[in-house]
Amino acid sequence: MIDAPQFRATMRQLAAGVAVVTVRAADGRAHAMTATSFTPVSLEPPLILVCVNRGSDTHSALATAAGFGITLLGEDQVRLATRFAGKSPERYRFDDLPLRHGPAGATFFQGAAAFIEAALEQRIDAGDHVIYIGRIGWTATFPAVRPLIHHQGGFHRLQHLEQEAIRRVG
């Protein structure tokens, strides 16, 4: 069996889009968390999942929520990705950001590649995380916005990765 540092090092090799999960806790407080462990699950019905550390306050908020929002960040949103990846009190402040709300009230950050609003369908315990599965009720996409990518512990623009691939092949 591999240890946690080896597993982490291995998973850093997986390039992934960057999502920010937003949820409103039972007390009304807004929460946001940067997540790279986000993926589509099913087309019929339309399902997505996000994995959240059970020790985080976002997990506590999701545990009692009816639904959540996913903002798929654009390449110019590194500051948002960083802001909501840490434990700073700023992750509870949205008043200084351009926002949009979905039909069911989920919060999204303008300038993103896509928005997804989901009703919480299922929770699955998985080690030190909980897998939250959501049924998609609404989306908005912005194809002109290039996605922000997370790879090897850092944020990258897709163009940067394309250029690297061209150099390796050529």
**Given a cut of 90, is residue 134 above it in pLDDT?**
yes
Mean pLDDT, the chain, rounded, equals 87
Q: What is the pLDDT of residues 141-155, one digit of tens each?
A: 999 999 998 877 777
SS3 for 34?
Answer: strand
**Given a cut of 70, is residue 13 above it in pLDDT?**
no
| C-beta separation of 8 from 143 below 8 A | no
Identify the band that residue 107 occupies on the pLDDT scale cut at 50, 70 and 90: very high
Identify the band that residue 170 occupies on the pLDDT scale cut at 50, 70 and 90: low
Question: Measuring CA to CA, how many Å separate 97 from each of 4, 26, 33, 47, 93?
Answer: 35, 22, 15, 28, 8
> Domain limits of the chain?
4-169
* Beta-carbon contacts of residue 137 (< 8 Å; ≥ 6 apart): 67, 102, 103, 104, 117, 118, 119
**Given a cut of 80, is residue 104 above it in pLDDT?**
yes
Question: Measuring CA to CA, how many Å separate 14 from each of 7, 50, 72, 149, 154?
Answer: 12, 16, 17, 10, 12
Averaged pLDDT, 91-99: 87
**Given a cut of 90, is residue 59 above it in pLDDT?**
no
What span, in angstroms and rounded, lies between the C-alpha atoms of 65 and 14? 30
- The CATH number that domain 4-169 falls under is 2.30.110.10
**Given a cut of 60, is residue 164 above it in pLDDT?**
no
| C-beta separation of 129 from 53 below 8 A | yes
* Beta-carbon contacts of residue 40 (< 8 Å; ≥ 6 apart): 47, 48
What is the b/e burial string over 110-130, where b = at least 16 CB atoms within 10 angstroms of the residue's CB? ebbbbbbbbebbeeeeeeebb
pLDDT of residue 14: 61
pLDDT of residue 88: 78
**Percentage above 90 pLDDT, the chain:** 56
Question: Measuring CA to CA, how many Å separate 161 from each of 2, 65, 78, 88?
Answer: 29, 37, 16, 29
Start-to-end CA span in the chain (Å): 38
